[in-house]
Amino acid sequence: MPFFKTVEKLIVNYGNFFTEGVRNTLIISASAVLIGTVLGALMALARMSQIHPLRWLATAYIEFFRGTPLMVQLMFIFYGLPMIGVTFPEVSFIPDFSRFMAGIVAMSLNSCAYVAEVIRSGIQAVDSGQMEAARCLGLSKKQGMTMVVLPQAIRNILPALGNEFVTVIKESSVVSVIGIADLMYRTNGVKAKTYNTLECLFVAAIIYFIMTFIFSKLVAYTERRMAHGRRA
């Protein structure tokens, strides 16, 4: 089987290229989900706010970022922003810092929009009678939220958030177009060196799959654990 011989050769000779790519892919994805979750939580609050302009802005943001391609958003931030004088700083001890920042910012802003919707729908999926009962006992809206609604919403939100991480790992491959040395970028590099196009893409696909598969299994596991009893 010459195909698998070539694959083996690629892994032996260029293994460190792929592992560096995986590392960067994971750094970008994890940062994007982390920042995206924090911003997304705030965005979800704004989206459900009683203050109309705030709600309107949040809705506009979410619709815009979900309705335009990540590639366009990334290009806009990496190439577009410097043209109007907004640049990311360079840090001497981290190579390619500004490039990385552009990638993380774009992915985070994008992820924020999706996470906001995940959180909002998770909260709104909790039966409104739960909040009513809390209010009737004399608890404030905030107390009802933290004691009753959010603990139940978490159960809806966490699995969906896990899926968002899986999506981000896959989507992060677009950052290769602005020259961030992620798995896709490294794959292209090895491909150009060896001309083993099919084998290189095969290796990349398998690595992406392993990452997402492990993670979605983890998500499924936590989902099962949380589904035990406790639900009306």
Name the residues that contact other proteins, by CB under 8 A.
127, 129-130, 132-140, 143, 147-148, 151-152, 229-232
| Alpha-helical regions (H) of 51-96 | 52-67, 70-75, 81-83
Min dist. Cβ of residue 44 to other proteins (A):
19
* C-beta closer to other proteins: residue 21 or 159: 159
Encoded tokens for 178: 């602005």
What single letter denotes the amino acid at residue 130?
A: Q
Closer to other proteins by Cβ: residue 13 or 124: 124
Residue appearing with tokens 């909260």: 123
- Which residue lies nearer to other proteins by CB, 86 or 232? 232
| All residues at 6 or more sequence positions from 186 whose CB lies less than 8 Å from its CB, including other chains | 17, 18, 20, 21
Please state, as a whole number, how many other Cβ atoms lie within 10 Å of the Cβ of residue 53: 9
Alpha-carbon span 202 to 188, nearest angstrom: 12
Residue 148 CB, nearest approach to other proteins (Å): 5
Minimum gap (Å) between residue 230 Cβ and other proteins: 5
Minimum distance of other proteins from residue 135's CB (angstroms): 7
User: Which CB sits closer to other proteins, 2 or 229?
Assistant: 229
